[in-house]
Amino acid sequence: MAHDPHGRIAPRTAEDLRRAELVGPPWWADQRRAVGAGAGAALLFTGLFLLARAGWLRHRPSSDHPIKADPTLVAIFAVTLGVMWPILLVSTSRPDQGFRVRGLAALLALAVLVVGAIDLVTIGGWSLLMDGRAPTASTLMTMTSDPVALLTVGAVTVTVHAWSAACVVGFVRLTPLRLVLALPTFLAVIGLGSWRAIAAFEQPPSPITLLAWSLIALLGLLSLAVLALVDEHRSTRG
């Protein structure tokens, strides 16, 4: 095993790499990193939302038609936040590609809930700045006064974060089976997720909608946990 110029141990053999992947950074350091990435993304998209609200956000600089700060934009932003969050966690400089092996299931489950809550608060703030740009009875506009609406938006954010994270974990430890499962799922999260999120945000709050999103969110969390636990089991046996 060789040392780099800074005195750190540089893994060379396959066994060294496996050990480095298993150890990884401290658990709470990875948790802070995951939550920080989510908070940073929420801050970035808040800036984009404010630009849209001011009429300064356009499809292209020469366009005469600004992008409207309406429920469609908020739903697209909400889905984009969930999709990009696990991508921000990928690190090619780490042996584990940014996703630790030991304790990953608990780390990502907690991070999904915390980052989902951050996005929920962020979207709630956006809804207060809509100024009549959405139907007053819509889920988006009633989320600060109707528990069903609030929980529906929360279920949407958790759903997108959980399924996106599961797909990205599958991509960074890729096998043919995972590619077949993760790629169409990831595309469905982007396409189908955006479509249904727009509908959920624009329509009045409904217990049926809340139940549907909650079940899909739960399945996403379970899939993410199972995938992480399988990786940990294989690595510790390896």
Give the pLDDT confidence score for residue 216 in this predicted structure: 98
Question: In total, how many domains does the chain have?
Answer: 1
With respect to residue 18, please indicate whether it lies within any of the assigned structural domains: no
- pTM for the model stands at 0.88
The 3-class SS string of 42-104 reads HHHHHHHHHHHHCCCCECCCCCCCECCCCHHHHHHHHHHHHHHHHHHHCCCCCCCCCCCCCCH
With respect to residue 141, please indicate whether it lies within any of the assigned structural domains: yes
Range of the domain at 225: 26-237
With respect to residue 11, please indicate whether it lies within any of the assigned structural domains: no
CA separation for the pair 155, 161 (Å, rounded)? 10
With respect to residue 93, please indicate whether it lies within any of the assigned structural domains: yes
With respect to residue 4, please indicate whether it lies within any of the assigned structural domains: no
Give the pLDDT confidence score for residue 14 in this predicted structure: 56
With respect to residue 137, please indicate whether it lies within any of the assigned structural domains: yes
CA separation for the pair 96, 100 (Å, rounded)? 6
With respect to residue 5, please indicate whether it lies within any of the assigned structural domains: no
Q: What is the mean pLDDT of each run of 10 residues along the chain (238 residues)?
A: 50 56 81 98 98 88 82 97 98 91 92 98 95 84 96 98 97 93 97 97 97 98 93 75
Based on the number of CB atoms within 10 Å of its own CB, is 174 exposed (0-12), middle (13-18) or buried (19 or more)?
exposed
With respect to residue 14, please indicate whether it lies within any of the assigned structural domains: no
